[in-house]
Amino acid sequence: MAKRIAFQGELGAYSHQACKDSRPDFTPVPCATFEDAMDAVRSGEAELGMIAVENSTYGRVQDVYHLLPESGLHIIDETFVRVHVNLLAPRGASLDGIKRVRSMSVLLGQARNFVKEHGLETLNWIDNAAAARAVAELGDPTEAAFASEVAAEIYDLDILARHVEDHQLNTTRFLVMSKEPDHSRRAEKMVTAFVFRVRNIPAALYKAMGGFATNGVNMTKLESYMVDGNFSATQFYADIEGHPDDANVRLALDELSYFTEMVEILGVYPADPRRK
């Protein structure tokens, strides 16, 4: 029996594409929400979860950084998907005949120039793959959707225009999550992800960050968010280059612990080459 990987969205979503790229031998399991995808891993319905965390054009995916430390799961890999926006329509439709395109507002916003050039009406949809499915069910040659090439294959739609996005480097980063951690792997470039909460003392964050600078550890991400709606309780998510067993990383984390109430490592994994 093939192993399974859960993702948020419908079949044909960009998260589905990430599953195909990263774990082609796994069976993708679509889930309605990020929480559902994580629950599928916790319950054993799926061995892995594919979670979108940030986009190069639109920034971080809202609420995900709240969910990561609460999930009880561990990050074991990352993958990047180049978000190509394609115009999908029923078989036999022509580009000149399209009157309206539907998709999520984020994707509609990424193809403004194409929409304006072709004088298309737009319809905001809850999910890109769901928009493609709706167009397939309608069978109207004047209706189209912005979605992935995978969605075109799944819903038997023609691709009338490929790669119509305005930003040619638009990319989404995903994290692969598992019930069990895997800190044993070593690669030329490793990433360590962790969350921490600083102590309530003056300049605590400044002092906590100092250990990374003095030990030559590069911090590639630092996200802050409130805990339980409390304005005075701020938690941070961070990515650093290196492995916790590296001498400089170990020293930096030791210094961090002195100025924090809590430090929890969420994952240690090889850096994806597409990170650059």
Query: Counting Cβ atoms within 10 Å, is residue 171 exposed (0-12), middle (13-18) or buried (19+)?
Result: middle
Which one from 172, 194, 259, 260 is the annotated catalytic residue?
172
Q: Which residue type occupies 27?
A: T
In the annotation, is 142 catalytic?
no
Q: How far apart are alpha carbons 42 and 215 in whole angstroms? A: 36
Query: Counting Cβ atoms within 10 Å, is residue 91 exposed (0-12), middle (13-18) or buried (19+)?
Result: exposed
Record the tokens describing residue 229, joined without a space.
């709606």
Which one from 26, 34, 174, 196 is the annotated catalytic residue?
174
Which DSSP helix (H) or strand (E) runs through 233?
A: strand 230-241
- Is-contact 265 191, C-beta < 8 A? no
In the annotation, is 259 catalytic?
no
Q: How far apart are alpha carbons 6 and 127 in whole angstroms? A: 16
For residue 269, report the phi and psi dihedrals to the nearest 5 degrees: -155, 160
- Is-contact 52 123, C-beta < 8 A? no
Q: How far apart are alpha carbons 118 and 98 in whole angstroms? A: 9
Encode 212-234: b = buried (16+ Cβ within 10 Å), e = exposed.
Answer: beebebeeebebeeeeeeeeeee
- Positions marked active-site: 172, 174
